[in-house]
Structure 1
Amino acid sequence: MTLKALLASACLAALTASALTTTARAADVELTLSHWVPATHALQPGGMEIWAKSISDASGGRIKITIYPASQLGAAPDHYDMARDGIVDIGFINPGYQPGRFPIIAAGEIPFLISNAKGGSRALDEWYTQYAAKEMKDVQFCMAIVHDPGTLHGTKGPIQVPADLKGKNIRPAHATMARLVNSLGAASVQVPAGDMRELISKGAADMTASPWNSIYTFGLQDVTKHHLDLPFYVTTFAFVMNKAKIDGLSPADRKVINDHCTPDWAEKMASKWADAEAAGRQKMIDAGGHTLYKPTADEVGLWKKATASLQGEWETSATKAGVDAKAAWAGLGETLRKYNADVK
């Protein structure tokens, strides 16, 4: 009996050691998430960190995501290719930083389309998921989001009607905005958000497109004193992943990741950022020294007229990308209405 007990004990110890080794291996899933805004930007503590913790919790601690902010691993326009090539496992991208490369998701860039970031992010993600495998086939698409509606901020006033842009150098938020400002007689000077401060302070641009609180986040509150007080546009963003890394995960871990790449998570990711951006407008008013130009109804009509051709341009680009553009546009509008995120 003693011998049998010893043998049984040895077998149990071997099985336990094997199980512990397996658990250790399973726990060793480390993913890098790279982005290009400051670590203090509301998107990191209010979105990315919450998302990463939820993934860790849902996986029983098997998956750990390390976040690298502020372009530590590469420049903002390179993040799609960085995820594609495995330089990072997860990249946060602004598709509009690479004009013409992602024409389908660019629908979300058209002004006066998306009224808010929360329902807008849920809607854009739900709509775009059906096209992501076609347009972003080099990566594993996770989710798409938008920021709270932004506007134009300048060093010289006023900014009230489209004619006020003529002759100015303007930093656009994305390719669609660049085409718009060029069509209005302005020159676009496109740089990532992190470079806005240097661009404006050196006088290389007179104006920038930005949501409200990002003026503070990127340190432009002392150089931009004139503001178009109008919810004008949003910017589309996406989280994309290295295919080989995700495919190499266990089925259980892939399920955890997939469960965190949903329209519900897109809304969660955008929500705290949206609140922070919206609060920036009142913060600016309270600070004083800023002039907010609120267009009349007729002047809003001038802005909408100035942007009217952008939908047709998008349809042409989307058609060339192999999409039924009219059906896609109608589908986007329907999805935005479903989540009360359309502009009335």
Structure 2
Amino acid sequence: MQKTLIALACASASLAASADPVILKVAHFWPATALSQQKVLEPWCAKIAQESNNTLQCQIYPSMQLGGTPPQLIQQAIDGVADIVWTLPGYTAGRFPSMEVMELPFLTKDAEGGSRAAWEIYQKYGQKDFAGLKALAFHVHDRGQIHNNKRPITKVADFKGLKMRAPTRLTNKMIAALGATPVAMPMPQTPDAVSKGVVDGYVLPWEVVPTMKLHEMTKYHSEISPPQPGLYTTLFTIAMNQAKYDSLTPEQKKVIDANSGVDFSAAIGKAWDESAPAARKQAQDRGNQFNTIGAAEVEGFQKATARVATDWVKEVTAKGYDGKAMLHDAQTLSAQYAK
């Protein structure tokens, strides 16, 4: 009888333990008020909770609350410090060569289409670079624009003598090709650098500018005129610790799988596209000066930055990748999915 009671007690304890929800630690570098958390992570977390009968739940840690710096996020996911991170592969220069192609100048026209292209590039070329991680999404941001405090920028010569912040290795190469001095730094450091004059300007999409209150400390904004491709974009990933994913039940894995991939990537890109007009309006309302870079001037920008792609193909080919095919596919897919 006693053995039976003990067995029943153990079985009850086991059932109770199995009923405990899995709490996923989700880390990123943006403030909690940013689009990334409010319009992407929070709805995504609510959806996986609902579809898993609350056996999957998120605890979101914005603004690097788990410690470390933005470039360390990807390693935090691999090491299990965080279960899921949202970050830039480009913050760790050279670590993810396969996905850098999405950051070459004048590649994408919009974030939704560019994000679909990014996921397909990952599927075809990128998986070996992300060992230890389960990619949930790859996306790009809305059209990258030029912002500075020195002068209006409408042609390549206007970059001469400027110190410009850029987020990744390839955007730094692009800035240098345009004649400015690139200053590499993660996005959270940018407002302080602008306010102290460490940099004269920066390249960023519209969504980020008011999130970081940069429109309050910037005089001039220069935009590549559609339908020309945007000047540049930055690649982001939402990635999960592979061991954490492997530890989930089959039902929980199905929920994660159903809420990751190409459609999730495109939805994030669409959210960034849709955010741009309202973000831009905040700079307009302050009376900041706007300049449009038309087709004739864009040709000069494209010529000045063409060698960035040429050099990239040579670099990754030397590392064993098919750089020419990767560039061709990124260009083809980006054009195919462009709105």
TM-score by length of 2: 0.90
Q: What letter is aligned with 1:28?
A: P
| Correspondence for 1:318 | 316
CA distance in 2, matches of 1:170, 1:124: 26
CA distance in 1, matches of 2:12, 2:121: 43
| Correspondence for 1:53 | 46
| Offset of residue 207 of structure 1 | 0.7
- Partner of 2:142, secondary structure, is coil
Q: What letter is aligned with 2:163?
A: N
| Correspondence for 1:131 | 125
| Correspondence for 1:7 | none
Deviates more, 1:32-41 or 1:122-131: 122-131
CA contact (8 A) 1:27 1:63 kept: no
Residue 93 (structure 2) pairs with residue 99 (structure 1): yes
| Correspondence for 1:177 | 171
Deviates more, 1:82-91 or 1:26-35: 26-35
CA contact (8 A) 1:153 1:226 kept: yes
C-alpha change, 1:166 and 1:81, in structure 2 (3 Å) is: same
| Correspondence for 2:216 | 222
Paired residues, number: 330
Deviates more, 1:97-106 or 1:180-189: 180-189
CA distance in 2, matches of 1:320, 1:53: 44
CA distance in 1, matches of 2:319, 2:265: 25
| Correspondence for 2:304 | 306
Q: What letter is aligned with 1:307?
A: T
| Offset of residue 288 of structure 1 | 4.0
Residue 63 (structure 2) pairs with residue 65 (structure 1): no
Q: What letter is aligned with 2:131?
A: K
Q: Residue by residue, what CA displacement relative to the aligned partner does 1:42-61 show, whole Å, maximum 9, x if unpaired?
A: 11111111111111112111
Residue 75 (structure 2) pairs with residue 81 (structure 1): yes
CA contact (8 A) 2:56 2:252 kept: yes
CA distance in 2, matches of 1:144, 1:97: 15
For residues 153-192 of structure 1, what are the structure 2 equivalents within 5 Å? 153-192=147-186
Residue 27 (structure 2) pairs with residue 29 (structure 1): no
- Partner of 2:147, secondary structure, is strand
Q: What letter is aligned with 1:252?
A: E
| Offset of residue 120 of structure 1 | 1.6
Gaps of 5+ in 2: 225-229
| Correspondence for 1:256 | 255
Q: Residue by residue, what CA displacement relative to the aligned partner does 1:145-180 show, whole Å, maximum 9, x if unpaired?
A: 111011110011121112111111110122111012
CA contact (8 A) 2:105 2:174 kept: no
CA distance in 1, matches of 2:207, 2:239: 25
CA distance in 2, matches of 1:274, 1:156: 28
C-alpha change, 1:334 and 1:272, in structure 2 (3 Å) is: same
- Partner of 2:136, secondary structure, is strand
C-alpha change, 1:268 and 1:24, in structure 2 (3 Å) is: farther
- Partner of 2:335, secondary structure, is helix
For residues 234-245 of structure 1, what are the structure 2 equivalents within 5 Å? 234-245=233-244
CA distance in 1, matches of 2:331, 2:292: 26
CA distance in 2, matches of 1:249, 1:219: 40
For residues 259-270 of structure 1, what are the structure 2 equivalents within 5 Å? 259-270=258-269
| Offset of residue 18 of structure 1 | 4.7
Q: Residue by residue, what CA displacement relative to the aligned partner does 1:86-118 show, whole Å, maximum 9, x if unpaired?
A: 111111121122222222211111121111111
Q: What letter is aligned with 2:59?
A: T
| Correspondence for 2:227 | none
CA distance in 2, matches of 1:65, 1:331: 35
C-alpha change, 1:23 and 1:313, in structure 2 (3 Å) is: farther
RMSD: 2.2
CA distance in 1, matches of 2:107, 2:98: 15
Q: Which has the larger radius of gyration?
A: 1
Gaps of 5+ in 1: 1-9
Give the 4+ runs in structure 1 shifted more than 6 A.
none
- Partner of 1:189, secondary structure, is strand
Q: What letter is aligned with 1:66?
A: Q
CA contact (8 A) 1:48 1:269 kept: no
| Offset of residue 235 of structure 1 | 0.8
| Offset of residue 23 of structure 1 | 5.9
